[in-house]
Amino acid sequence: MVSHFLPFHHFPSFSAFPFLFFDFHSNTNFLSGAGSGGVKAATTACKLGAKVAVADYVVPSPAGTSWGLGGTCINVGCIPKKLFHFASQLGESRDDMEGVGWGVDRKTPHDWPKMVEGVQKYIRQLRWNAKLVLAQIGVKYYNMLAKFVDSHTIELLDPKKNKKETVTAKNILIAVGGRPTYLPNIPKELTISSDDIFYLKQNPGKTLVVGASYIALECAGFLTGMGNDVTVMVRSVLLRSFDQACAKKVGSYMELRGTKFIHGSIPSNLEKLENGRKKVSWTDKDGIERSEEYDNVLVAIGRTANTAYLNLESTGVQINPNNLKVIANEADQTNVPHIYALVIVLILDPNLLLLLLWLENFFLKDFSPIPRSS
């Protein structure tokens, strides 16, 4: 099955591995910071002689989806997304295939469970590789939830076994990422998010995508390409922080391919019907009350930083109260000098950053020229 996804093998396998990441008290020099992802960073740090441990634990989504090691990118982000796009584009390319002489079977519908199975198989391999790399290099991996007791002490919890452990660290990197933000007035468990879509056992059917972020539009795009009836509900503009001329082109192209848009609206109510469908109500941009039934409602209105559980108050580390993100300087250092925070994942050369931090030689203070993921 994996060979079917060959075009994706060139992806940097460990490009965005996110972990809470500790350098334990040791006789070696200190390590802190990470570049594009914890696995690469952790392994590099180990090569530099540091004693390193990572803690990574996934709290299930409100719809109950959970996954393993590797963070957003591998499990519910870049990788499955690109594979779903790949599947969708293959379906769409049937039109072109016919034009150049290939016979096309249009009677056999797309097999969603088979696609999910294939994508999951690929993701499992990436997770396994990550685990193996960590083990081989000697990084200690805790599949546990981490929170601070004080600025050098971390409590680790295995919620399934209710087992706790306390560890201390000389330098600490917080790289806890974020999770989808849900609509405040709508019960979370009645909606799905990008945390769920790649794990659904069945095709989501007629879908309302709420939001106009790149995640919203990408999900809407691949679902439309797979033949689904998809509507995107946009509060204000598409792709807010992107070039608006490009954003408009993306919107027009999506409409051309069959995605529908409702502009200037947000859901005011969502009701689960006896037949399992979701009845969504909203006020349209002309002030008229409207409603429609969907099989699924996918919410993609942004992401919230995973800092609430960390008990950062016990460390004095400052966070931005508006988005809960840890405040860090250009060198990813918080106001507590031995605690670093990966606010945005670097997608190039984590080795460079680690080396810089390792040497305490911060001659590169400004990381803004380095390409980053969102």
Ligand X SMILES: Cc1cc2nc3c(=O)[nH]c(=O)nc-3n(C[C@H](O)[C@H](O)[C@H](O)COP(=O)(O)OP(=O)(O)OC[C@H]3O[C@@H](n4cnc5c(N)ncnc54)[C@H](O)[C@@H]3O)c2cc1C
Using CB under 6 A as the criterion, which residues of the chain lie in contact with ligand X when the complex forms?
16, 18-20, 55-58, 71-73, 76-78, 81, 145-147, 175-178, 194, 215, 306, 309-310, 342, 345, 347, 373-374
Smallest separation, CB 309 to ligand X (Å): 5
Cα angle 169, 171, 175 (rounded to 5 degrees) comes to 100
Closest CB to ligand X among residues 209, 270: 209
Residue 336 CA to chain centroid, in angstroms?
Answer: 27
Smallest separation, CB 342 to ligand X (Å): 6
Smallest separation, CB 16 to ligand X (Å): 4
Closest CB to ligand X among residues 28, 153: 153
Closest CB to ligand X among residues 16, 238: 16
Assess contact for 351 and 44: CB atoms under 8 A. yes
Closest CB to ligand X among residues 69, 270: 69
Smallest separation, CB 72 to ligand X (Å): 3
Smallest separation, CB 83 to ligand X (Å): 11
The residue with tokens 């993100």 is 325
Q: Buried b / exposed e across 81-104, counting CB within 10 Å, b at 16+?
A: bbbbbbbbeeeeeeeeeeeeeeee
CA 372, CA 369: separation in Å to the nearest integer? 9
DSSP letter string, 106-140 = -SSPP-HHHHHHHHHHHHHHHHHHHHHHHHHHT-E
Closest CB to ligand X among residues 28, 331: 331
Cβ within 8 Å of residue 87, ≥6 positions away: 110, 115, 222, 226
